[in-house]
Amino acid sequence: MKSALFTGAAVTLGLLLASIGSAQANAESTGSHQPTPQARQHGIEKAGDAYMGWVQNTTTKSAAPAVMAPAASVEGIDVSSHQGNVNWAGQWSAGKRFAYTKATEGNYYTNPYFAQQYNGSYNVGMIRGAYHFATPNDSSGANQATYFLAHGGGWSRDGRTLPGALDIEYNPYGATCYGLSQASMVAWIRDFLNTYKARTGRDPVIYTNLDWWSQCTGNSTAFNSTNPLWVARYASAPGTLPGGWPFHTIWQYSSTPIDQDRFNGDQSRLVALANG
């Protein structure tokens, strides 16, 4: 009787310790992605909530800047879980002809609205693409590229699917440059890009802005001849481009009433980018 009681107590104690250990592990994982106070001001309440241009959005929610379109351009938008189910017919009627949808973040999050957003834009006739919000402090570039590809970030030469985009910008969960040196950041980005290209044959688009790229990569020029630039600048012009890129491919120029993007070329060039 004493032996059975002892055995039962030991099992109960073991289960309790395992439960505590699991709770501690989950707390540590969640703790590493606690949004900063600044991020919380922009609707980032938990891991996975990050979105393109979240810092720029602080100054442009009240009114969109007056932006003159070039002679040849195509209007588009980018969306994430913050937009929920998107009225794609309405966006088409508003003149939008391409859209990027957030697919993943780090190696821990997938957008629950991805299918509605990614397929919905395609179904109304738009050219669509997927983007990955990078968190370089969590895992390698190769790991996150693989995660992205496994959760909607792939590419096919159908004339309607754009190459995946790497969203590399301010960290909403901590240190601006994710605790990496400039050299380490460049190496991380290269690891992501190389992995994606090896799997798809396409060079991903890089979404960033001049300030972050200068701070965190030393304004690296390593990718300006291979990867299309998607520059973020909420103003009347794209301004000085980061990394020595000779021109931008996409410009995110506003967040009102939804993130607004402009392709630098006509529809035929957008289709050419999709086809590779």
Q: Active-site residue numbers?
A: 78, 167, 169
Three-state secondary-structure class, residue 75:
strand
Three-state secondary-structure class, residue 130:
strand
d(CA 19, CA 62): 47
> From the centroid of its chain, how far is CA 156?
19
Please spell the DSSP secondary structure of 257-272, one letter per residue.
SS-EEEESS-HHHHHH
Cβ atoms 261, 78 nearer than 8 A: yes
C-beta atoms surrounding 124 within 10 Å:
18
d(CA 157, CA 180): 35
Cβ atoms 77, 127 nearer than 8 A: no
Cβ atoms 131, 166 nearer than 8 A: yes
